[in-house]
Structure 1
Amino acid sequence: MDIDTKRRALVGAILGGVATGSALSPVRSYLRRFAPLSGSAWRSATDRPQGTVESPHGPATLRYDDHGVPNVSAADERALYFAVGYAQARDRLFQLDLQRRLMRGQLSAVVGDAAFESDEFHVKMDFAGAAEATWRHLRGTDTAPVVRAFADGVNAYVENEPLPLEFGLLSYEPAAWTPADTLLMEKQISWELTGSFRTLRRATVAEKLGAEAARELYPARLDHDAPIVREGGDGGTAARESPPDRAVGSDLVEWLADFESDPGVGSNSWVVSGEHTASGNPIVANDPHLSLMAPPVWYEMNLRASDAGVRGVTFPGVPFVVIGENDAGAWGFTNTGADVIDFYRYETDGDRYRYRGEWREFDVDIRTVAVADGEDREVTVRKTVHGPYLEREGEQVGVAWTGHTATETTLAVHRYATSEGVEDVLAATRHFDLPTQNLVYADRDGETLFYVTGRIPVRTVDGERVRGDRIFDGSAGEAEWRGFEPFGVSSWEGFVPFEEKPHVRNPAYLATANQRVTDDPYLSEAYASPYRGQRIYELLDERANSDRPVTPAFVEEMQADALDGRARDLVPELVRAADGADGLQSAVETLSGWDYRMDRDSRAALLFAHWFDAFREEALGAAFERADLGEAYHPRDWVVAHLDGQRWFGDGSRRAAMVRALRSAVTTVEEEGYETYGDYNDTAAITHPFDQSFLNYPAVPTDGSSQTVNNYRVESAVGSSWRMVCPVGGESVAVLPGGNSGDYFSEHYRDQLRAWADVEYKSMTRELRGEETVTFEEARR
């Protein structure tokens, strides 16, 4: 099929199709408003230009390598990042604009009334106001000119080149990109990693099922032996359990649940010192687990200004490499899970709320949300001294989130790029306010480092330190954060000091997989199930205690590991329970000989995946249905695996529930016609926001589950969004789940998908490669 025929087929298919909803993206089901086949849509479906571009910031060169990665070079940083902005717009402009519209509450303006509830939430949370506060705070720093230059580069592309196909189909043009938009992307990333309404769900469960059930489903500590810091940690003390709380209303909670971080968001990373490697130099590995989509959430870049080079990935709209390596070292991140959001009740009287014995007026702003093909709608934004005030169906709650103030993470990420060793990285990390992350780092001097980033609030009630897992009395000023100024500049005095946050200097090896960091009971409200963390430490311990060194090849094998700890813990019990049960002997035999690996060609893996879902339903379904609680209230898999007792299994037993779940799994597998796990576990879930077959990725079978190191969750399209192995001083490798280009007609739209599915890699060299595509010349005055 020639390219012109392919374009016609694509446009025709989209215009004649219906976009279906999916959990992957909150905007997917909104993209139903397509323009007629028009000149603008047709012009958008054209090859990208090449040539010369004027730059007000000086000369630069843009090349693309064999995998569509922009290789950008310049003598001056501003010239470099002008070219980076141009490249990102060239490759991901629709993605940039879609993310910006989501966070500003401007989706309805292009897709219609279906997006209004999303816009209402984002306007009331005023993420844009927090981004503006951050830009005002950063304007005097050495990072500000670079952020401005990046915005200039994005706008240069928009002003001079054809827009991507999606703009023609939705019949609109993007507004100019601003520095505040870049900082809004920082807020989006941070919200996706730390924005959780788990406290509100816990309160709802406590009200409907009782306080004991809430403690069992949402325990403060998961009882396992694989924390991140295994030696030299705090030791910890028991935190007083929060008292039962009155729920804020399920209508409000269920509305908010659509806009919080995906419970599957996580990541793996580990660092191994030269003491245990074949080369004598450290190795850093990282694979962040985020929503998978077409194009990917990450964008890879290879940049060089003067003699300093950096390569890795960023989020479209962010100028700087977030995860990657430079000439001195390599770094990666995983989510800490620290509790950085609190909720408040207030005594109210109309437009007033009571605070510390006085009545105060809400800070009120009426904002207009534009709606395509409909009437514009007004949204009332209310704020208290703590932050946004959210209302729904007569229920209200105040919110304090560390992202609702001026933050300096953009400074930190900028400085990582030019860091020359561990001291520079530590100095930069002091500015990393948000989100809370587990940083791992290693450098050419042999230094290794683990450090928790981000501002972590200290909460006290009546002089006693408390956890943040309850709704506080905002009128009394209960547990509020000293030095926190919503939509201003915070002093952060009521937060954990940098030196006291968990960290380890020069660990021999250390692994993070979103499990609890230490036994500090106040650090987090919700760690991940420990299965991935246990497995990574198991593999590293075994290697360290052998006579075989850690090599890059071994680290790649670790990233491909598909052993599921849930299966290893539960399947022996399941086999004993189901042995001899009518009609289940074949399933029992299949599971009995299994190695617990979620491999694509395994039938046992297929049965287990459906069995665990059925077992969760057996344990929670009846109680949740009676209480009118949906899937949003499900606890972590570790909790489900350890549930027992009459509360959860009614008049039956855990053993009987296991057998019933296996019958259900066998029936589902037969009805769906699956033979092996790969028939079910494939990449068809990774789709474009339009969710059309032409734009979506093809179905490629792959391995892994929600609880394996090789992480893929087909039911929610979450998984390893970037895999990177960096042997310091050696040849680094990486892979994306798709391709680096967002242009459907590019050969790099999905050229890495099969390699990603097979856990194969491409080079991550910092050498500049590729033929010159665009030359940036000093603008004539």
Structure 2
Amino acid sequence: MRRTELRAHDENGEPRPSPRWTNRRTPLGRTALCLVLAVAFLLAGCTTSPPITSPLPPPGRATILWDTWGVPHIAAGDEPMLFRAFGQAQMRSHGNLLLGLYAKARGEGARYAGETSLNSDRTVLLMGLRERGAEWYAQQSPRMRAAVDAFATGMTEYATTHPAEHDRIYDPLLPLTGADVLAHVARTMFAFMTDVSDCKRVLPDLDRGDAPPPGSNAWAIGPERTSDGGTLLLANPHLGWGGDELLYESQLVAPGVDVYGATLVGFPVPVIGFNDSLGWSHTVNSVDGCDVYSLVPDGTGYRFDGGHRDFETSNRQISVRLPGGGYRTEKVTVRRAVQGPVVTVGGKTFAVRATAVDQAQVPGLLEQWWEMARARTLEQFRAALGREQLPMFNVLYADDAGHVLAAFAGKVPDRPSSYSGSWDAPVPGDDSRTLWTTTLPASRLPAVIDPPGGFVQNSNSPPWTFTLPAVPELDPARYPSYLPSPGLGWRERRGLQLITSTPKMSLDDLVRLKNDTHLSLADSVVPALVAAANRSLDTGARRGAAALENWDRQAQATSTGALLFLAWVYEALPEGHSADELFTTPYDPADPLGTPRDLRDPAAAVSALGRAAQRIQNLYGAIEVPWGNVARLQRGNVDLPASGFPGDPYGSFRVLSPDIARIASGKPGAVSFGDSYVAAIHFGSTTTARVLLTYGNSTQPGNKHVADQLALAQTGELRPALRTLSEINQNLEERMDVSR
């Protein structure tokens, strides 16, 4: 066993701390010989497939090849033209959505969308997110400043030359700027962060409403566990099907880079991607980068270290569009304490201290992602990670040299050990001893490379089960106690069951397993529940038990017990409670797949089953209702039965979450969350990928690519990723040329 040290440097040339990663495999290297061609010179490296134009366009020009799925394949002679063309492509595919998102990034969403964006604007003003965009813009390297400027120029060009393709109400937003791009990045990352932190309870939401928190599955399977000795990567984010979380699929090619993947709409670089040599995905991790401090009011200020402090105060205004036309003005007073922005909730005053956008900012996030996309080796990829600009997210990685990696990344406060209270509750804000000022370096966060189990995976559980069997570098005792406690979600439990029961996995296996809808929670409760119900005198519970016995414990469109099981969980678990509370034997990190177990209160469970069966009978006229009758894939003019289920606490690896409130009222519910971009990738002597963007690659009214991939999603089919000129030309819909 040897340790491969990372020697990344910061913007000033100073060495960065090395992440604590143990390399358990000697690098295999690549022995394939690259042909010496002009194209190879332009690409500045070896590839196993030709670029999408041959040769690349000259500097100052770009070509966009639109395939029959609405995916842009962009080849450019230089990076600024690549980003300029990418801005044009995104505006063509998502003009109204994109302009609405940039309005919110300026804190002007309510000016265009009315009251629905008012809370978002309040938070943007409170956290100074628009100002953060301007500050980050000034901190960009010359190369990345040129990139975001070009991206903004491309968006503006398309909007101004195709005015009929967007709602003209957005015209005052133009032109868009590089600072707008960074403000949008800051707002989006802050929305992700608050969803998994304590600050969510005191901050106005950013237009997410009642949407589930973002989630994801990702696997990296090493050559020891594949059927041909290659390496496999699964990327499977679970995000909302609209607004801030919508993903956009593309291929970007320029000198030195050829990357295929997906980004959040309005971002100029891929956030999930792969090239011929390597790929990566993210899962949402439980980085708690935001703390709430309880302040003690003192006149017009607050108490701090036994004395009085004045708030820093500024007055702002929000223009709110009225339904009947015209506007009203809302005045907003923004206050800051020493900890950060101040909010009042329920008559109490709190300060919010957040990493990423306020403390320990991440102005270099876009450039880090771009360097990850340009990397060709493990060492280059780790050097990109060494920039430590990710505000959150796990990183899961695989490459053609047989390496797999998982890292818990993000800006985690280095919280003072002198405070013995809980950081999950409001922290006393009148004492400087609770005030943290730095964040943990990557060397103090969990990570593993090439573990002996031959795989890494994550489905949003804490990082301690990145792999099995357990490895020393994922021992929670090595890390700060306020990192997530050991635990395993039911969806991740199912993922681990699928991996460990497939000792030699192929790409076909990966696609099949990704679509698994077996509910792991049902395996743990249904046998005992049915046995207890059959012993009871509750007729409804006995009928429910018969339905559960007939059920395959799947959430396929034809499965007839999934709806009843969903209703039982709602009856058996009070809101806000964990499914682990249903069991007597608690979760044991030493037996992650065998615990928790043993139904705690069979009588209460049976009573809940009787109520659930009666409710389903009343709503639908039967207890055994095919799941696809109530869970629908609806978008545009498409309406199809869904196979998939909410992930946790039910344990479906395939996540498609319908509108539960509508289902609970006896009406079909449209899926609005879950599988978005999916990529199954094989790395070896050649790189092969299958992909899907479940809801389609456009939101523009009348665009044929709104919902055109839902039929594939219904059957669980992925389409080949088109990456070579030959493949694209066989599936070419349109060509666009872009020049300065």
Distance 2:245 2:715 in 1: 17
Distance 1:162 1:362 in 2: 45
> What's 2:337 paired with?
384
| CA offset digits 1:197-248 (Å, max 9, x no partner) | 86479xxxxxxxxxxxxxxxxxxxxxxxxxxxxxxxxxxxxxxxxxxxxxxx
User: Please, which of 530, 533, 554 is the counterpart of residue 578 of structure 1?
Assistant: 533
Distance 2:275 2:702 in 1: 32
- Secondary structure at the aligned position of 2:163 is classed as coil
Specify the code of the residue in structure 2 equivalent to 1:671. Answer: N
Q: Is the 8 A contact 2:196 2:288 kept in 1?
A: no
Distance 2:416 2:638 in 1: 50
- Secondary structure at the aligned position of 2:639 is classed as coil
> What's 2:410 paired with?
454
User: Please, which of 701, 707, 712 is the counterpart of residue 750 of structure 1?
Assistant: 707
| CA offset digits 1:56-106 (Å, max 9, x no partner) | 981111110111100111110111110000111111121112223334432
Residue 180 in 1 paired to residue 179 in 2? yes
Distance 1:497 1:575 in 2: 50
> What's 1:774 paired with?
736
Query: Which stretch of the first structure deviates more once superposed, 671-680 or 74-83?
Result: 671-680
Residue 84 in 1 paired to residue 41 in 2? no
List runs of 5+ in structure 1 lacking aligned partners.
1-54, 202-251, 483-493, 621-630, 645-652, 688-694
| CA offset digits 1:363-390 (Å, max 9, x no partner) | 2111110122232111011112222111
| CA offset digits 1:128-162 (Å, max 9, x no partner) | 23333322222x34222111111111111122112
Residue 635 in 1 paired to residue 577 in 2? yes
Q: Is the 8 A contact 2:335 2:342 kept in 1?
A: yes
Distance 2:281 2:333 in 1: 40
Residue 285 in 1 paired to residue 234 in 2? yes
Residue 588 in 1 paired to residue 529 in 2? no
Q: How do residues 724-739 of structure 1 correspond to structure 2 at under 5 angstroms?
A: 724-728=679-683, 729-739=686-696
Change (3 A) 1:336 1:404: same
Distance 2:385 2:420 in 1: 26
> What's 1:227 paired with?
none
List runs of 5+ in structure 2 lacking aligned partners.
1-56, 465-475, 587-599, 661-671
Shift of 1:509: 0.6
Specify the code of the residue in structure 2 equivalent to 1:504. Answer: V
Change (3 A) 1:292 1:664: farther
Distance 1:386 1:530 in 2: 33
User: Please, which of 497, 500, 511 is the counterpart of residue 541 of structure 1?
Assistant: 500
Specify the code of the residue in structure 1 equivalent to 2:82. Answer: L
Q: How do residues 237-248 of structure 1 correspond to structure 2 at under 5 angstroms?
A: none
- Secondary structure at the aligned position of 1:143 is classed as helix
- Secondary structure at the aligned position of 2:218 is classed as strand
**If each structure's strand is expressed as a fraction of its own residues, which one has the higher value?**
2
Distance 2:614 2:197 in 1: 33
> What's 1:360 paired with?
309
Specify the code of the residue in structure 2 equivalent to 1:404. Answer: V
Residue 709 in 1 paired to residue 653 in 2? yes
Distance 1:163 1:523 in 2: 52
> What's 2:352 paired with?
399
Shift of 1:606: 1.8
User: Please, which of 612, 629, 633 is the counterpart of residue 665 of structure 1?
Assistant: 612
Q: TM-score, normalized by length of structure 1?
A: 0.75
- Secondary structure at the aligned position of 2:439 is classed as coil
Q: TM-score, normalized by length of structure 2?
A: 0.78
Specify the code of the residue in structure 2 equivalent to 1:496. Answer: L
Specify the code of the residue in structure 1 equivalent to 2:377. Answer: G
Distance 2:450 2:719 in 1: 29
Change (3 A) 1:440 1:114: closer
Change (3 A) 1:771 1:662: closer
Supply the RMSD in Å over aligned alpha carbons. Answer: 2.9
> What's 2:99 paired with?
97
- Secondary structure at the aligned position of 2:75 is classed as strand
Q: Is the 8 A contact 2:61 2:739 kept in 1?
A: yes
| CA offset digits 1:99-124 (Å, max 9, x no partner) | 23334432221233454344323322
Specify the code of the residue in structure 2 equivalent to 1:303. Answer: L
Q: Is the 8 A contact 1:512 1:533 kept in 2?
A: yes
Q: How do residues 52-201 of structure 1 correspond to structure 2 at under 5 angstroms?
A: 58-113=60-115, 115-138=117-140, 140-165=141-166, 167-168=167-168, 173-196=172-195, 199=198
Q: Is the 8 A contact 1:290 1:719 kept in 2?
A: yes
> What's 1:342 paired with?
291
Residue 470 in 1 paired to residue 425 in 2? yes
> What's 1:648 paired with?
none
Residue 326 in 1 paired to residue 267 in 2? no
Specify the code of the residue in structure 2 equivalent to 1:428. Answer: A
Change (3 A) 1:74 1:391: same
Shift of 1:309: 0.7
| CA offset digits 1:565-619 (Å, max 9, x no partner) | 2111111222122214224433212212433222221111121011111222xxx
Q: How do residues 24-35 of structure 1 correspond to structure 2 at under 5 angstroms?
A: none
- Secondary structure at the aligned position of 2:410 is classed as coil
Specify the code of the residue in structure 2 equivalent to 1:402. Answer: T
Specify the code of the residue in structure 1 equivalent to 2:227. Answer: A
Specify the code of the residue in structure 1 equivalent to 2:150. Answer: A
Q: How do residues 391-430 of structure 1 correspond to structure 2 at under 5 angstroms?
A: 391-405=344-358, 406-407=361-362, 408-430=364-386
Q: Is the 8 A contact 1:192 1:262 kept in 2?
A: no
Q: How do residues 482-521 of structure 1 correspond to structure 2 at under 5 angstroms?
A: 482=437, 494-507=438-451, 508-518=454-464, 519=476, 520=479
- Secondary structure at the aligned position of 1:371 is classed as strand
Residue 310 in 1 paired to residue 255 in 2? no
Structure ranking higher on relative contact order (CA contacts 8 Å, 6+ apart)? 1
> What's 1:718 paired with?
673
Distance 1:642 1:741 in 2: 48
Shift of 1:410: 1.2
- Secondary structure at the aligned position of 2:320 is classed as coil
Query: Which stretch of the first structure deviates more once superposed, 260-269 or 532-541?
Result: 260-269
User: Please, which of 359, 374, 390 is the counterpart of residue 434 of structure 1?
Assistant: 390
User: Please, which of 621, 628, 632 is the counterpart of residue 682 of structure 1?
Assistant: 632
Distance 2:652 2:209 in 1: 24
Shift of 1:638: 3.5
> What's 1:559 paired with?
514
Distance 2:581 2:176 in 1: 45
Q: Is the 8 A contact 1:312 1:323 kept in 2?
A: yes
Distance 1:538 1:198 in 2: 29
- Secondary structure at the aligned position of 2:641 is classed as coil
Distance 1:417 1:321 in 2: 7
| CA offset digits 1:20-41 (Å, max 9, x no partner) | xxxxxxxxxxxxxxxxxxxxxx
Change (3 A) 1:329 1:119: same
Shift of 1:187: 2.4
Distance 1:594 1:300 in 2: 37
Q: Is the 8 A contact 2:285 2:408 kept in 1?
A: yes
Distance 2:125 2:511 in 1: 43
Shift of 1:554: 0.6
Change (3 A) 1:261 1:513: farther
Query: Which stretch of the first structure deviates more once superposed, 604-613 or 92-101?
Result: 92-101
Distance 1:176 1:640 in 2: 56
Change (3 A) 1:566 1:264: farther
> What's 1:41 paired with?
none
Q: Is the 8 A contact 1:295 1:741 kept in 2?
A: no
Shift of 1:254: 9.0
Distance 1:470 1:755 in 2: 45
Shift of 1:753: 0.9
Q: Is the 8 A contact 1:296 1:721 kept in 2?
A: no
